Structure 1
Amino acid sequence: MTVLPWRDIDTVLLDMDGTLLDLHYDNHFWLEHLPQRYAELHGISRAMADLELTPLFEGNAGQLKWYCLDFWSRELKIPVRELKLETAHLIALRPDADTFLAAINKAGKRVIMITNAHRDSLSLKMERIELAPYFERLISSHDYGYPKESPAFWDALQADIGFDPARSLFIDDTLPILRSARDFGVAHLLAVKQPDSQKGPKDTAEFAALGDYRELLEGL
């Protein structure tokens, strides 16, 4: 990966799940734990649960409600918040993410988290991994009513925090979100090579990929 032009970067925008935190927690919860508990709570087989859940997940992907715990609790008639606590021991920081956060703070960069995670998910994770002190703001897309995939999110973010896209770095593990940021004019973009520690590297298409946070510290 090429060295970042830190002298041209004032603001660092960071995703949470898969970027700062290991995506294994979320993948395990949504693909394994929730379907199993859904089956148990509704008295059906796991296979039937998968048949019912798969089209719902696919049909709502990329929309704000996909990330909304209230929506899924109503839709599935199960207590999603409580179920997320059952696997909270899997919430984990990606290696050296805190080292990176400390370094960019020391360098005087403006550091802001922007996540599609519901506020309840954000709170749960911040209770277990103390990252909040590193950030000027922790922003959930639910605050604006648009997911990061939407151009309207970036307009709302600009109106809220007044950042210069041309002098900003954004790191995220989701390609449609990175493309949305690029369309808005964010100049420095990085994908994440391996968001889930339990799965192999992913194809990051046209984006340079972050493998190790220590790689980013050169020239800071």
Structure 2
Amino acid sequence: MVDWSSLDTVFLDMDGTLLDLHFDNYFWLEHLPKRYAEQNDLAPQAAKDHLIPMIMAERGSLNWYCTDYWSDRLALDITGLKAEVGDRIGYRPHVVDFLDALEASGLHSVIVTNCHPDPLRLKLERTGLDGRVDAIVSSHHLGKAKEHPEFWHDLQQRVPYRASSTLMVDDSFPVLESARRAGIAQCLAVLAPDSQREANAHHPEIPGIYHFDELLPALRERQSVPSGQ
């Protein structure tokens, strides 16, 4: 599924890949409509019917992920509202073991996320994830989402990498397809990003896993190979 011997760099998505997407889905589909309804004197379902199409219209763009954009548009403190349900932030199964094995393998690990820097800080405070990888890059620092074809070129300027020896792991097929078009050698999908929802269907051309324990034996085998072998 992954040719670990050919890799130098592993790019990792955060939400839905390392962290349970339940937090984000719950926030956007339940908590935000509830708070929006309270502020605007609406019935909860009316608020949801108003918000969800508005949010979905921005899907794939940087605005979709931008806390500042939604705070301005909805006249709400989105980061503050996220903190209200921050207890739902958590790792997906086997992620800590996988990250430990990745560190032991000597591969360069980089979180490449569309998460805005403000909620990113909240998630790092809750998880300590920044202490388990070599670097973190938010697409907001580059001014374009991972789905954008020029994202990967701009990422190269910030985190030099060789596409031919890089793996990208993400729960978003549009992101993985973008990475493939940019020449990323290996792409892997996470098919069960939200612990409270059914898994996604397999992609016809991109291999997928449900949980990281599926990768651990081969990754640990790489660790056990003596240097120079």
Report the TM range for the smaller structure's normalisation: over 0.9
Q: How does 1:27-176 map to 2 (within 5 A)?
A: 27-176=25-174
Matched to 1:8, the amino acid is: S
CA distance in 1, matches of 2:80, 2:210: 33
Matched to 1:141, the amino acid is: S
Matched to 1:114, the amino acid is: V
Give the TM-score of the pair, scaled to structure 2: 0.92
SS in 2 for 1:162: coil
Which one of 158, 181, 194 corresponds to residue 196 of structure 1?
Answer: 194
Matched to 1:162, the amino acid is: P
Is residue 14–residue 112 contact of structure 1 (8 Å, CA) maintained in 2? yes
Is residue 98–residue 131 contact of structure 1 (8 Å, CA) maintained in 2? no
Matched to 1:216, the amino acid is: L
Matched to 2:161, the amino acid is: F
Matched to 1:69, the amino acid is: T
Which has the larger displacement, 155-164 or 11-20?
155-164
What's the Cα RMSD here? Answer: 1.0
SS in 1 for 2:99: helix
Aligned match of 1:216 = 215
CA distance in 2, matches of 1:189, 1:38: 38
CA distance in 2, matches of 1:68, 1:154: 19
Q: Could you give the per-residue CA deviations for residues 127-172 of structure 1, whole angstroms, max 9, x where no partner exists?
A: 0101112222110000000000001111101122110111011100
1:61 shift after superposition: 0.9
Is residue 192–residue 204 contact of structure 1 (8 Å, CA) maintained in 2? no
Give the TM-score of the pair, scaled to structure 1: 0.96
1:8 shift after superposition: 0.2
CA distance in 1, matches of 2:56, 2:4: 38
Question: How many aligned residue pairs are there?
Answer: 218
SS in 1 for 2:112: strand
Aligned match of 1:14 = 12
Which has the larger displacement, 52-61 or 177-186?
52-61
CA distance in 1, matches of 2:109, 2:73: 35
CA distance in 2, matches of 1:157, 1:63: 17
CA distance in 1, matches of 2:76, 2:131: 33
CA distance in 1, matches of 2:196, 2:102: 28
Unaligned runs of 5+ in 1: none
Is residue 21–residue 91 contact of structure 1 (8 Å, CA) maintained in 2? yes
1:53 shift after superposition: 0.9
Is residue 190–residue 211 contact of structure 2 (8 Å, CA) maintained in 1? no
1:51 shift after superposition: 2.6
Which has the larger displacement, 137-146 or 210-219?
210-219
Unaligned runs of 5+ in 2: 223-229
Q: Could you list the runs of 4 or more consecutive aligned residues of structure 1 that deviate by over 2 angstroms after TM superposition?
A: none
1:116 shift after superposition: 0.1
CA distance in 1, matches of 2:208, 2:187: 9
Is residue 175–residue 204 contact of structure 1 (8 Å, CA) maintained in 2? no
CA distance in 1, matches of 2:196, 2:53: 25
